[in-house]
Amino acid sequence: MPDRSQGSAHPGDRARKQVPTRVDDPLAARPSHDGASTGNPRSDGTTRAAAAEQWATLAPLIAGRKSVRKCTAETGKFDTWGRLTPTLPTVPSAVHPYDANAWTTIIVCDFDPSRKNSADPLAQQAAEAAVAAEARQLVEWVGECGGTAVVDVSTRGGRHVYIPLSSPLRKEHIEPLLRLLATRLRTLDIQPMLGPRHGCITAPGSPCRGGGYRQLVDLTVVEARDRLARRTAPPDLVARLCDRLRHQLAFDDPAHTVDPDIGRRPTPATTDPNATVAHPIRAPLPTWIAPFLAHGTVPAHRTRADRTWTPSEARLAVLEHHASRGWSLVDVRATQPDPLWAAFWSGYERRDAGRRLALDWDRALSYAEHRTAATARKSATPVQEREYLHTGGIGGARWKLAAARKWILVCGEFAGPQRWSALLVVTALAYGLSLDEDRRTVAAGGRWLSLAAGLLSEDTVWSVLRRLRSIPGSPIELVESWSGPLHTGDRYRFVTPILDGREVEPSEWESYAARIDPVDGVWKQIGWQAWWVHEALRWLVIPGETITRSDLALAARVSVATVDRAVAILAEHGLVDVGHGWVSITGRPPRAVPFLADIADDEREAKLARHRRERATFYEFWDIVSESFTAREIRGYTSIGEVDHYTPAYMAATGWRGPPEIDERDEDADADAIVLLTAVFGELVVIEERTTARA
């Protein structure tokens, strides 16, 4: 054990108990609260040297910037700035976990006993014990998910847990994990990590506001340095922790949990037994569920902690799958006599079976609500509310758009950049369909579609439309051509696409992912393939979760090479986080990319102004012509309808017939030519053959 010797009190500071360099007992170095002079570590040479070593070694590894915020005695706040140096500061100093671009390579969790708001020494001692217990719990969770952590403690009992990451992440990526931790750890303060610009945290070795220094817990300086420098955490550590907190904690056996009211009679859960999720899914149940329900065969699934499922976890997964599909607790209880559920109900053969089932159902229903929450959020916009009312919901415009997208990707008629152009055009047409009164057809010109398709060029839009009209089985059908008097463009409608004699039907997630919105012009600056991959990614995962590149390519129906190129572009603009083989969305909107939104807005305004000028000029000319002349009076004017109507009558009236028959006489062509010349010129042409003598 390190030396626990005490030194004299520092002038102007309250005396505190000595805090060792390495703390094994969470309460062994608890400071004194009665004001008695117990020695101040700031005046002890060994302790100050240990603090200086910890600060010089670990603070640069935690800091995201080269500056620190210092605490002033007058305000008690970190409201002055200084430069980060290896020298131990003389006042409490905090480093920024985020860099200037709001990226971080470490997650800092601040456990504060003062959040208990008690001045009673015994209560404060209990608060410090709670801080130590919750910090240990977090370290255990991190270890189960493959990560490492470094812990330090202040003289007041507050603790910081530093979790190094293998690759930089943004606040949007980390926030879901922080929110989940805050709901389970009562002494945790997540604010330092929620402010990328101003958030800060005191590092190991820093002086404390009440005297003394922050010291490492259960680690030496060398061990802590190795953990922070090597960053051996798995790339998807945040996703694993989120899954651990959302899912695996729900699988904990209630028999092993501490019930604060254990002396009372157990009461059933408070959830309404008839409650169901707001937006149930329609996917079939996994194939492993039937054997488990009937025979108790636990599937060979593994948790994030790389352990096999237990029967308890399988039962909860069964309940979650049924809850996601609209089942209620009443529906589940009704299966008790069913022999196909015999093995499932054998797991509830206990005295408190009713309460156990109610608790399990509460957890399953809560997680099912989380899984289906994306559907509820996406159906909350006004356009999509109208879509559910008038077009049959998921079988309406979104289903049509998803089917059109799938057909474009699998038909093989569109390659290279034209594939993205076709996807953009059908997306713009679907948006126009949602705005049309009858919601069955859409009358839109190429200029309007170019704006709705993310500022795609008009020539490209017209080229794609011609191509879609010409391919058999296309999802787009021309209803009528543009109307000059009505000032409307070509009218189209979506039809069920056909490929190889079969109807093309999208999957459920593809229908949900087909947003009926115009494409933001920012994507023209970022890249169309990046737009399409981002469209798939934002529906496959939520911030904090990951997906492999091969799975993303399979879902987006593109090659892995295309995904690699798109992900590289998206990562460059901070729209995704990437690691070795995995991708995760950050939640950052594309319009948050600096300068790109301004460029897109300027281009849109310029294009819109040009379109207005062109339309005004054309229709001004068209109105003059249509008011002054009839179609037959315009010189050289004709229409395809007139050609079809008048051509047969004209041919019949003029006695039109085919070319003259060829007289196939077997005569010498030269003799015929001589006869013709003689008849015309009245002379005889004599052809003499001359021979040239050769030397």
Kindly report which listed range (478-482, 508-512, 572-576) carries the lowest average pLDDT score. Answer: 508-512
Q: Where are the beta strands (DSSP E) in 112-157?
A: 150-153
Contact 455, 464 (CB under 8 A): no
Quote the CA–CA distance of 252 and 257 in Å, as a whole number: 8
Cβ neighbors of 166 (< 8 A, separation 6 or more) are 231, 232, 233, 234, 235, 237, 579
Q: Positive or negative, the Cα torsion across 185, 189, 191, 196?
A: negative
Q: Residue 311 CB: number of other CB atoms within 10 A?
A: 15
Amino acid at position 587, single letter:
G
The 10s digit of each residue's pLDDT in 578-613 is 887 788 888 788 888 878 888 888 898 998 899 888
In a 13 Å sphere around the CA of 619, the CA atoms on its Cβ side amount to: 14
| CATH code of domain 22-246 | 3.90.920
Percent of the chain with pLDDT over 70: 75
Quote the CA–CA distance of 361 and 215 in Å, as a whole number: 44
The 10s digit of each residue's pLDDT in 41-86 is 333 444 888 888 888 888 889 888 888 888 887 777 787 888 888 8
Buried/exposed code over 97-134 (b: 16+ C-beta within 10 A; e: otherwise): bbeeebbbbbbbbbbbbebbeeeeeeebbebbebbbeb
Q: What average pLDDT score do residues 378-400 get?
A: 46
Amino acid at position 633, single letter:
E
pLDDT band at 8 (very low <50, low <70, confident <90, very high): very low
Contact 581, 234 (CB under 8 A): no
Contact 284, 371 (CB under 8 A): no
pLDDT of residue 476: 92
Cβ neighbors of 425 (< 8 A, separation 6 or more) are 449, 453, 456, 461, 464, 465, 468
Of 441, 446, 452, 447, which Cα lies nearest the Cα of 491? 441
Longest dimension (CA), the chain: 146
The 10s digit of each residue's pLDDT in 632-667 is 555 556 666 666 777 777 777 766 666 666 555 555
Contact 93, 69 (CB under 8 A): yes
Residue 168 above 60 pLDDT?
yes
Q: Residue 342 CB: number of other CB atoms within 10 A?
A: 15
Quote the CA–CA distance of 308 and 456 in Å, as a whole number: 51
What the block records as the tokens of 181 is: 């931790």
Residue 330 above 50 pLDDT?
yes
What the block records as the tokens of 620 is: 């001004």
Quote the CA–CA distance of 466 and 469 in Å, as a whole number: 5
Q: What average pLDDT score do residues 317-344 get?
A: 85
Tell me the CA distances in angstroms from 151 to 110, 132, 354, 513, one per residue in order: 10, 10, 42, 42
Quote the CA–CA distance of 44 and 49 in Å, as a whole number: 8
pLDDT of residue 50: 87
The 10s digit of each residue's pLDDT in 569-584 is 999 888 888 887 788 8
In a 13 Å sphere around the CA of 252, the CA atoms on its Cβ side amount to: 10
pLDDT of residue 405: 93
Contact 80, 73 (CB under 8 A): no
Contact 97, 64 (CB under 8 A): yes
pLDDT of residue 252: 42
pLDDT band at 273 (very low <50, low <70, confident <90, very high): confident
Query: Read out DSSP for 516-547?
Result: -SPBPTHHHHH-HHHHHHHHHHHHH--TT--E
**462: burial class by Cβ within 10 Å (0-12, 13-18, 19+)?**
middle
Residue 15 above 60 pLDDT?
no
pLDDT of residue 298: 87
Quote the CA–CA distance of 687 and 669 in Å, as a whole number: 15
Which DSSP symbol is given to 361? Answer: H
What is the SS3 assignment for 388?
helix
Tell me the CA distances in angstroms from 493 to 397, 441, 477, 484, 510, one per residue in order: 11, 4, 5, 20, 20
The 10s digit of each residue's pLDDT in 530-541 is 999 999 888 887
Higher-confidence residue: 3 or 158?
A: 158
Output phi, psi for 161, to 5 deg. -115, 120
The 10s digit of each residue's pLDDT in 429-463 is 998 888 876 668 888 888 889 999 999 999 999 99
Which DSSP symbol is given to 339? Answer: G
pLDDT band at 3 (very low <50, low <70, confident <90, very high): very low
In the block, residue with structure tokens 């009505």: 486
Output phi, psi for 103, to 5 deg. -110, 150
pLDDT of residue 665: 55
In the block, residue with structure tokens 């062509």: 669
Contact 199, 176 (CB under 8 A): no
Quote the CA–CA distance of 370 and 484 in Å, as a whole number: 51
Output phi, psi for 533, to 5 deg. -65, -40
Of 236, 239, 242, 228, which Cα lies nearest the Cα of 579? 236
Tell me the CA distances in angstroms from 441 to 304, 397, 433, 446, one per residue in order: 48, 11, 6, 16
Q: Model-level pTM greater than 0.85?
A: no
The 10s digit of each residue's pLDDT in 292-326 is 898 888 888 766 555 777 888 888 889 988 888 88
Output phi, psi for 389, to 5 deg. -75, -35
Quote the CA–CA distance of 524 and 451 in Å, as a whole number: 11
In a 13 Å sphere around the CA of 191, the CA atoms on its Cβ side amount to: 5
Ramachandran region of residue 82, left (φ > 0), alpha (ψ -120 to 50) or beta? beta
What the block records as the tokens of 287 is: 């194939």
Kindly report which listed range (94-108, 403-417, 433-447) carries the lowest average pLDDT score. Answer: 433-447
What are 533's strand-pairing partners? none
**536: burial class by Cβ within 10 Å (0-12, 13-18, 19+)?**
buried
Quote the CA–CA distance of 155 and 207 in Å, as a whole number: 9
The torsion of the CA quartet 415, 416, 421, 423, rounded to 10 degrees, works out to: 60
Higher-confidence residue: 590 or 254?
A: 590
The 3 state secondary structure assigned to 618-668 is: HHHHHHHHHHHCCCCCCCCCCCHHHHHHHHHHHHHHCCCCCCCCCCCCCCC
Q: What average pLDDT score do residues 95-118 get?
A: 80
What is the SS3 assignment for 576?
strand
In the block, residue with structure tokens 């599937």: 299
Output phi, psi for 692, to 5 deg. -105, 120
What are 106's strand-pairing partners? 164
Which DSSP symbol is given to 571? Answer: H
